[in-house]
Amino acid sequence: MSTIVETAIKDAVKMVREAGQLLLQAMDDKKVITKNGTANFVTEIDLKVQEILFGKLLKLLPDSNIIAEETADNIFALDKYTWILDPVDGTTNLMYGYKYSAIALGLVVDGVPYAGIVYNPFLNEMFTAQKGKGAFVNDSRIGVTTNGSLSDSLLGYGTSPYDRGKADETFRITKNVFNKCRDIRRSGSAALDICNVAAGRTDGFFEMELQPWDYAGAAIILEEAGGRITDWQGKNLTYISKSSAIVTNGLIHKELLDAIK
């Protein structure tokens, strides 16, 4: 990849780290603006982080485009270089002071995920990856677990909180999976859930509905750590539309897909 892209990624890591300070400062100032529905919130911090990063990222790669969660109209089109940004993944956690949220940023080049940056300022953990170069948390290389059976697996899951119409199906499936695995965790940040699989802290994760900004940054980190991400039909994600997602160490992928059906 060209030097300009390599430099842009390095600079983007610094910018994301800096913007992470805003999430830490937000602990005393939990102002909320309701977006839509009863569970889809946006706070001043989401908007501020997005505003800061938006302008800077466009300058880093002059021909780039950005898809970001809190823009009025999201046009899901991929250019040569497309940044996909979730300014705060885990907004509800941030509002409650739960201290488990991240800034998630992916770079897709010619339609192919090329780099991922997911920063959790509460634990000062910076997850990064670039295609073909491995995945890291801070300076340490990470990799998925080697566990090959669902019954020995610790999983993460998401409840698709914005679509209560899907609650019955979500919890029916979750109960089914719960009865087949070791245990289940619900963190409130899909990007961190995926990074947890990448770092070998869990064996898998599933959620019925995610948007590209929830998974774009973390998906390449997962793949570079040896894991696998598909939709619930086993198909590759497109990065341009909402989708179901299952994320695993690769070894339990089929078993988890079967359990979700």
- The residues binding ligand IPD (CB under 6 A) are 86, 88-92, 158-161, 188-190, 207, 210, 214
Q: Residue 88: name the closest of 45, 129, 36 by CA.
A: 45
**DSSP secondary structure of 77-106:** ---SEEEEEEEEE-HHHHHHT----EEEEE
Q: Quick one: 203 or 214, whose CB is closer to Ca ion?
A: 214
28 annotated as ligand-binding:
no
Say which entry of Ca ion, ligand IPD, none residue 121 contacts (CB below 5 to 8 A, set by partner kind).
none
Say which entry of ligand IPD, Ca ion, none residue 188 contacts (CB below 5 to 8 A, set by partner kind).
ligand IPD
User: Is beta strand 183-185 parallel, antiparallel or unpaired with respect to 154-157?
Assistant: parallel
Q: Which two tokens stand for residue 124?
A: 């000062």
Q: What's the closest the beta carbon of residue 200 comes to Ca ion, in angstroms?
A: 23
Q: How far apart are CA 121 and CA 171, in angstroms?
A: 31
Q: Which two tokens stand for residue 21?
A: 């300070």
Q: Quick one: 188 or 250, whose CB is closer to ligand IPD?
A: 188
Q: Residue 53: name the closest of 76, 7, 45 by CA.
A: 45
Single-letter code of the amino acid located at 177: V
Q: How far apart are CA 78 and CA 239, in angstroms?
A: 8
**Number of residues lying near Ca ion (CB under 5 A):** 5
DSSP state at residue 131? T
Q: Quick one: 116 or 226, whose CB is closer to Ca ion?
A: 116
Q: Quick one: 192 or 251, whose CB is closer to Ca ion?
A: 192
203 annotated as ligand-binding:
no
Q: What's the closest the beta carbon of residue 75 comes to Ca ion, in angstroms?
A: 18
Q: How far apart are CA 256 and CA 156, in angstroms?
A: 12
Q: Does 214 bind Ca ion (CB under 5 A)?
A: yes
What is the number of the residue whose Cβ is closest to Ca ion? 89
89 annotated as ligand-binding:
yes
Q: Does 203 bind Ca ion (CB under 5 A)?
A: no
| CB of 51 closer than 8 Å to CB of 70 | no
Residues in the chain: 261
125 annotated as ligand-binding:
no
Q: Pick the binder of Ca ion from 20, 86, 118, 145 (CB under 5 A).
A: 86
- Binding-site residues for Mg(2+), please? 69, 86, 89, 214
Binding residues for Ca ion, rule: CB under 5 A, are 69, 86, 88-89, 214
- Binding-site residues, please? 69, 86, 89, 214
